Amino acid sequence: MIKNKKVTPESTKKPKMVIEINNLSKGFDDMQVLKKLSLKLYDGENLVVLGKSGSGKSVLIKCIVRLLNPDQGTIMVLGENVSELKSKKLARLREKIGFLFQSGALYDSMTIKENLEFPLRRIKKKLSKKERDKKIEETLEHVGLADTLHKMPSELSGGMRKRASLARTIVVDPMIMLYDEPTTGLDPVTSGGISALINDVQKKYLTSSIIITHDIECARATADRIIMLKDGEIYMEGNIDDFENSTDEVIQSFFKQKA
Amino acid sequence: MSINTLVVKQQVIKLSEKTIEKTKEANVFFSGIGDFFLFLWKTTRETFSLNFEFNEFLRQCFQIGYKTLPLISVTGLIMGLVLTIQSRPVLVDFGAVSMLPGMVSLSIIREMGPVITALICAGKIGSGIGAELGSMKVSEQIDAMEVSSTHPIRFLVVTRVLAATLMIPVLVLYADALGILGSWAGANIKGSVSFVLFFNQAFRVVDFMDFLPAVIKTFFFGAVIGLVGCYKGYSAGHGTESVGKAANSAVVLASLLVIIVDLIAVQITDMLL
């Protein structure tokens, strides 16, 4: 692993840790996807995880919310060991984590309003209907989709679906955001818009985020710190300048290819 | 090494390769059965959980019950009509045409109505559920539900299985009624019999114990169709191809299980009555 100077959001302050992963291993059949991986996410930080397809990026964040069970290692999220949580406690922890899926994963039998209402009804149970409607309208306005309230997901473009999906994730005020390839399949202009939105969300909702991507522009726009995965292990850690100035062949080939 | 030894060696290698292949197939088969029972256990456990998704259950009752009515109406009417047209000549030969309403109503209520309706529902409802849940799985909607603190089995599976369990008996009763109506229409093609006389004769031979086991088994048909549809959709693999496979295998397995449940129900009824 190539390790550059330790980069934390505000290294002088001793930032609070929100996610701590130690020796995480995960495999499928004969293939080992993650190999004793360790990483930390600090409060208020945008951590970008770069890597080629199949390097284990998505598996990593799916393990964090326990959509996949790790074979080995510990994952501490907001001070709780995810692997040891019973279903009720896990559900409560998941309420604090927003997960933006690669495909958007909007419920296609529901309108955009119903999509946002779905988690809101279950997580913010105390909100009245009026408060719920107001919250939905505000969130959709924030992502620039105020006029799509009664539209079906199939009526939206790819970029709009990503925004709607992001709105559904942030409507419940999560503390941690996990983005799985947020700009994949989008044109450069729309991708730029999504990257800006990720930064907006961090500022407005004070979230800590892990952004899984292989889009260098997205990494450049959003990253406080970058980790590059290769064959299930951390290959390099640093900020965008460290990566761009790196003379390592693998890093160079990745950055040149994507430039 | 002699030629014979080489041939024997090759045969042994071939045999071991085939054994490994068959063992793998058996493993997949048995792990599939294990997965199904695990799924059944999770569904049963969530059925009795406190947070019942009542609105989704009502929506599913509407989808499964109301939206299947047109198909069941046509099937029920034709079932009675065909049964009457086919049976009438034989009964005329024996001079027993007056037994036609009773015979047709008995066969519709005891067997034809429940089984044909259940098979139609296995096709429409089973494939619908399988494809819907399969596509939700493939497009990560089920995962999205899980991370937003909603138990997908409680929201998607329990509601659909319960709706199918309750709606299919209603659809069967409706199909039975239309079947007998179709039979009256069939009887009037070549003869003339009044509506009241036909229904009087039809229900004279049917007693409560013909009716009860037939209705009870339809609850099991409903549960089987709902469960198989959900299981196949829920366990769909990746890619759009697996959605088609999930829908297809849901229909095949649900239809097969309906026939098997019917056989068991008939045996139990026969032993008890």
Find the closest chain A residue to B150 by CA distance. Answer: A122
Supply the mean pLDDT for chain A: 87
> Helix (H, G, I), strand (E, B), or coil: what is residue A237?
strand
pLDDT at B164 over 80: yes
Query: What is the sign, positive or negative, of the torsion defined by CA atoms of A210, A211, A214, A215?
Result: negative
A3 pLDDT exceeds 70? no
CA distance A131 to B259: 52
Out of B140, B145, B151, the one facing A103 most closely (by C-beta) is B140
d(CA B56, CA A126): 21
Q: Is residue B161 scored above 70 in pLDDT?
A: yes
Q: Taking CB atoms and an 8 Å limit, are A91 and B149 in contact across chains? A: yes
From A67, A92, A123, residue closest to B143, measured CB to CB = A67
Residue B10 phi, psi dihedral angles, 5° rounding: -65, -40
Give this complex's ipTM.
Answer: 0.85
How confident is the model over B87-144, as pLDDT tens digits?
998 888 888 888 899 999 999 999 999 999 999 999 999 999 999 999 999 999 999 9
Tell me what pLDDT residue A2 has.
Answer: 53
Whether B168 has a pLDDT exceeding 90, the answer reads: yes
Considering the domain boundaries, does residue A124 fall inside one?
A: yes
Write the CATH number for A185: 3.40.50.300
Q: Is A65 on the interface with B (CB under 8 A)?
A: yes
Crossing angle of helices B195-204 and B159-190, rounded to 10°: 120
B77 touches B178 (CB < 8 A): yes
A3 located within any domain:
no
Q: Whole domain around residue A39: which residue ranges?
A: 18-258
**What is the SS3 assignment for B225?**
helix
Residue B180: C-alpha distances to residues B69, B80, B108 (Å): 16, 6, 8
B contacts of A108 (beta carbons < 8 Å): 135, 139, 141
- The reply to whether residue A94 touches residue B139, judged by beta carbons under 8 angstroms, is no
Domain extent listing, chain B: 1-32, 49-272
Q: Are A199 and A225 in contact (CB under 8 A)?
A: no
Whether A94 sits inside 8 A of B141 (CB atoms) is no
Task: State how far the Cα of A229 lies from the Cα of A209, in Å rounded to an integer.
Answer: 17
pLDDT value of residue A55:
83
How many domains are there within chain A? Answer: 1
- Within a 10 A sphere around the Cβ of A198, how many other Cβ atoms? 24
The predicted pLDDT at position A5 comes to 45
A29 φψ region: left (φ > 0), alpha (ψ -120 to 50), beta (else) = left
Q: Name the residue in chain A with its Cα closest to that of B137.
A: A105
Q: Work out whether strand A17-28 and strand A233-238 pair parallel, antiparallel, or are unpaired.
A: unpaired
pLDDT in tens, A97-120: 999 998 889 999 899 999 999 999
Cβ-Cβ contacts under 8 Å, B53 against chain A: none
Whole-angstrom distance, CA of residue A3 vs CA of residue A234: 9
Please tell me the distance from the alpha carbon of residue A246 to that of residue A234, in angstroms, as a whole number. Answer: 15
Nearest-CA distance B33 → chain A (Å): 20
Cβ neighbours of residue B261 closer than 8 Å, sequence gap 6 or more: B217, B220, B221, B224
Nearest to A122 among B135, B144, B148 (CB): B148
Q: What is the DSSP string of A193-213?
A: HHHHHHHHHHHHH--EEEEEE
Question: Which of left, alpha, beta for B193 (phi over 0: left; psi -120 to 50: alpha)?
Answer: beta
CB within 8 Å: A99 and B141: no
Find out whether B231 and B42 touch, Cβ atoms under 8 Å.
no
- B255 residue type, one letter: S
pLDDT mean over A153-181: 91
Per DSSP, the three-state class of A7 is coil
Q: Between B139, B149, B150, which is nearest A105 by CB?
A: B139
Residue B238 has pLDDT above 60, yes or no: yes
**A102 contacts in B (CB within 8 Å)?**
140
**In 3D, which of B126, B79, B90, B91 has the Cα closest to residue B256?**
B126
Burial class (CB in 10 A: 0-12, 13-18, 19+), A12: exposed
Interface probe with B: pick from A109, A121, A180, A210, most Cβ of B within 10 Å: A109
The closest alpha carbon to A149, from A113, A107, A110, A106, belongs to: A113
Residue A10 lies in a domain: no
Are the Cβ atoms of A108 and B141 closer than 8 angstroms?
A: yes
Q: Is A12 a domain residue? A: no
Rounded to 10°, the helix A112-123/A158-170 angle is 20
**How far is Cα B70 from Cα B187, in angstroms, rounded to an integer?**
23
Does the CB of A61 have a partner CB in chain B at under 8 Å?
no
pLDDT (mean) for A217-231: 90
How many of the other CB atoms lie within 10 Å of CB of A152?
A: 16
A-interface mutation test, from B42, B149, B240, most A Cβ less than 10 A away: B149
Handedness of CA A29, B34, B224, B39 (dihedral sign): negative
In the predicted structure, residue B253 carries a pLDDT above the cut 50 = yes
Q: What are phi and psi of B257, to 5 degrees?
A: -70, -30
Out of A95, A102, A168, closest to residue B149 by CB = A95
Indicate yes or no: CB of A119 within 8 angstroms of CB of B150: yes
What is the chain A residue with the closest CA to B142? A105
Of chain A, the percentage scoring pLDDT greater than 70 comes to 93
Could you say which DSSP state residue A15 is in? P
**Interchain CB distance below 8 Å, B144 and A105:** yes
Tell if the CB–CB gap between A65 and B139 is shorter than 8 Å: no
**Whole-number Å distance between alpha carbons of B193 and A215:** 78
